[in-house]
Structure 1
Amino acid sequence: MTAYEVVAILLAGVAAGTINTVVGSGTLITFPTLLAFGVPPVTANVSNTIGLVPGSVSGAVGYRRELAGQRSRVLRLSVGSLIGGVGGAVLLLRLPDDAFAAIVPVLILLGLVLVVFQPRISAWVARRHDAAGGLPHHGTWWVWPGVLLTGVYGGYFGAAQGVLLMAVLGTGIDESLQRLNAVKNILAAVVNAVAGLIFSVVADVDWWVVLLIGVGSVIGGQLGATVGRRLPPTALRVVIVCVGVAALVAFLLG
């Protein structure tokens, strides 16, 4: 690995860690970078997943203020992410490369629609639950299954996982976007960690790539927490949509 490749992968890790903390889809930066330097696709995917784990943890730490009072919610939803992440990792190792990826653009598009209409959907859901004293602390019935399915997707590839998570959480839980973004960082960390653990045992991993992306993503996680916390709800929603559209275009053109 040349000095140029080292710097490029490290910087890609910083960018991915920043974007993942704010919204998600940092994989759209690191994965193509690795492919451009000749890393085989499956090796690039699994190495990238493992490398982004420290960045996810870094982003979660950066958002620790917004996690106050959400412990039970995070623990409950993390179980869904854990199961989903295992399922997604197994799918990556078992299925042909194009089998599951066929549905990725549909999932991203659905996530974008949910994010755009999140205020209206949330208001409608809240009205329906007013008679019962408001929304449950853990959200509506579809939140946990939605988190699990998003975990499957994240364990398989992960790009735009944050967009989908914010769509699920935002439409089903009566909470501010910033606090939900903090939960999203925890759930994404769980998915990446469990998938990365499986990959480290049974898959072909490039540990130099893991090290570079890991260091970069930790730095990016702190940058993302600083930037993301300062964004008002509307601006955060715009960022989510922009990143999601970029992800959708990348998949369709790819």
Structure 2
Amino acid sequence: MEWLPWVLLAVAGAGAGALNAVAGGGTFLTLPALVAFGLPAVGANASSTVALVPGYLASAWVGRRHLRARLPVPPVAMLLGATVAAAAGAGLLLASPERLFATIVPWLVLAATVIFWLGAPRAAGAASATRLLPLLLIACLYGGYFNGALGVVLLAALAVGGVADTHAANAWKNALSALVSLVAAVVLGIGGAVAWGPTLFLMAATIAGGVAGALLADRLSARGLRAVVIGVGLLAAAGLGLQAA
């Protein structure tokens, strides 16, 4: 059944777009689908990063009104820093041995989830530019290297950096995820790591999922949104750990 891998890509793309809009972790749908399609791990990760860009952009557009929330760091500084960090992370991926890539990622995702879990309730009233900007740069470096659970990592950085409005944090997570993925897509595309046929097909599915997921995220309570983020992060860390074992 030659059509089955394409159906799997369509389902994975739609699900990933929705999941990324709500919490993050959509890569854990697209990455296995691309591996099943026949791509090697690093190539699948690069292709997945590129394919998720439209879904992130759609989610950011739907939640754009929350981007007007006041932040401890000027948006221009965040966007410029994210661009540089994402490019550096993508370059690091192209230079990394595949085994190293598989080994360290579960620990990064688990650490980010725990930080978000413990740090977010203490973030209110603790806005700090000196804390938020370095955390975002680290998160965007991670996102350029590996897009998996980027939403969880960014939400952890925003929460600990003092962004107490959960919906504003989610909107900025989507906007920064879109930028990081777009920058990484350019670097990885130039580096020849992207399989463009399945990637372009997957892109179309992420747009519909991204819009639907952003609309759902906008209707969740702050507590419900946090619960989804933590659950996705723990499942993602466990799944990656099993893959690396």
Give the TM-score taking structure 2 as reference length: 0.92
SS of 1:25's equivalent in the other structure is coil
**Matching residue of 2:84:** 83
Which residue of the other structure, out of 169, 176, 180, is the alignment partner of 1:187? 176
What is aligned with 2:103? 102
Counterpart CA distance in 2 for 1:167 and 1:89 is 21
**Deviates further, 227-236 or 173-182:** 173-182
Partner of 2:5: 5
**What is residue 246 of structure 1 aligned with on the other side?**
235
Which position in structure 1 is the counterpart of 2:22?
22
Gaps of 5+ in 2: none
2:130 match: secondary structure: coil
Query: How many percent of aligned residue pairs carry the same amino acid?
Result: 36
| 1:170 match | 159
**Pairs aligned (count):** 242
Do the aligned partners of residues 227 and 99 (structure 1) sit closer, same or farther apart at CA in structure 2, a change above 3 Å counting? same
1:132 aligned residue? none
Q: Is the 8 A contact 1:74 1:186 kept in 2?
A: no
**1:136-215 alignment, distance < 5 Å:** 139-215=128-204
Instruction: Provide closer, same or farther for how the CA distance between residues 17 and 120 of structure 1 changes in structure 2, counting only shifts above 3 A.
Output: closer
Contact 1:74–1:183, Cα closer than 8 Å, also in 2: no
RMSD over aligned Cα, in angstroms? 1.9
Does the aligned pair in 2 maintain the 1:48–1:210 contact within 8 Å? yes
1:210-225 aligned within 5 A: 210-225=199-214
Change (3 A) 1:45 1:120: closer
Matched residue type, 1:166: L
Q: Using a 3 Å threshold, how does the CA distance of structure 1 residues 5 and 234 change in structure 2: closer, same or farther?
A: same
Residues 117 and 230 of structure 2 are in contact (CA less than 8 Å); yes or no, is this contact kept in structure 1?
yes
1:56: which partner in 2? 56
How has the CA–CA distance of structure 1 residues 149 and 45 changed in structure 2, closer, same or farther, with 3 Å as cutoff? same
1:101 Cα deviation (Å)?
4.2
Q: Which amino acid aligns with 1:80?
A: G
Contact 1:77–1:147 (CA under 8 A) maintained in structure 2? yes
Structure 1, unmatched stretches of 5+, are: 130-134
Q: State whether residues 41 and 98 of structure 2, in contact with CA within 8 Å, keep that contact through their aligned partners in structure 1.
A: no
Using the alignment, how far apart are the partners of 1:42 and 1:101 within structure 2?
9
